[in-house]
Structure 1
Amino acid sequence: MTIQKTISLRPYPRGFHLITSIIEMQLAEIRQIKAGILHVFIQHTSAGLTINENADPTVRKDFETFINDLIPEGYAKFIHNYEGDDDMPAHIKSSFFGNSLQIPITDGKLNLGTWQGIYLCEFRNQGGPRNIILTAMGA
């Protein structure tokens, strides 16, 4: 069985946002899969995806602080800044985190660890809506 669906996320402010429950609600069909995999792909070059701590919001704040220190806006050597100072840093951050995830499906549920959640990593100040393609495969 293969299920594929594109979902559009509302615009989020810059930062790291848990979207696990949105994905689970939008892909209720995975309940039919006993064993499989969910591939999550974001169709953007200035946002990313990651899996990490889902309980303490200070983790998300620390991610934001660290990645902005590592890849700062206003870096004098960036020349791609057509859409503002956050333009090139957002592209680098997107490549740094990546644009896809693979998550096991077991007995109709995402088989994430107890403290794991799926993050939308929004790297733009005004990123807008984000499209995510969900592809679930399994039996």
Structure 2
Amino acid sequence: MAHVQHRLTLATKGQGFYEFTGEAAAFVRETSASRNLSFGLLTLFCRHTSASLLIQENADPDVQTDLLTFFRHIAPEGRGLYVHDSEGPDDMPAHIRAALTQTHLSIPVADGRMLLGTWQGVYLFEHRRAPHRREIVLHLSGD
């Protein structure tokens, strides 16, 4: 069984969704071709506590708008709302949002491609308002 890792850095512009399906697909395609892999599993891991990963619809941007609205409602920003507020009013809500989502994803792979559904895309979900550089570890294992 082959194992290959790659680190992908994504620059965010603040809160929102950043699709990186294309970058992940390229890694899977190139690795599968060079290692002659027929099938496997792609694991994605976000190395941060105030951002997360999602597989979500990539056809209608209203889905992202509604998700942002929902998460702002269930984990609002504001000084005095949380004990942990030394890094600003958006920090603790970012940790809560990350805890409610996930920092890792597993996607099956076959014939050099991720087996995502028709409307599925892979996203980094940035929970902080300021721009950040976020690192995602991509790990492909397979035969």
TM-score by shorter chain over 0.5 = yes
Aligned residue number for residue 96 of structure 1: 100
Aligned residue for 2:93, secondary structure, equals helix
User: Is the 1:12–1:128 contact (alpha carbons within 8 Å) kept by the matching residues of 2?
Assistant: yes
Aligned residue number for residue 8 of structure 1: 9
After superposition, the C-alpha distances for 1:69-100 in whole angstroms (9 at most, x for unaligned) are 11111174401111110010000111111100
- Give distance in 2, aligned partners of 1:130 and 1:4: 16
User: Is the 1:16–1:63 contact (alpha carbons within 8 Å) kept by the matching residues of 2?
Assistant: no
TM-score by length of 1: 0.93
What displacement does 1:54 show? 1.1
- Give distance in 2, aligned partners of 1:42 and 1:62: 23
User: Is the 2:41–2:142 contact (alpha carbons within 8 Å) kept by the matching residues of 1?
Assistant: yes
After superposition, the C-alpha distances for 1:28-85 in whole angstroms (9 at most, x for unaligned) are 2134321110000000000000101111111111110111011111174401111110
Aligned residue number for residue 90 of structure 2: 86
What displacement does 1:7 show? 1.3
Aligned-pair Cα RMSD in Å: 1.4
Q: Which runs of 5+ in 1 are unaligned?
A: none
User: Is the 1:50–1:121 contact (alpha carbons within 8 Å) kept by the matching residues of 2?
Assistant: yes
**Identity value in percent:** 40
After superposition, the C-alpha distances for 1:16-38 in whole angstroms (9 at most, x for unaligned) are 22111122234521343211100
- Give distance in 2, aligned partners of 1:5 and 1:15: 24
User: Is the 1:12–1:129 contact (alpha carbons within 8 Å) kept by the matching residues of 2?
Assistant: no
- Give distance in 2, aligned partners of 1:123 and 1:114: 26
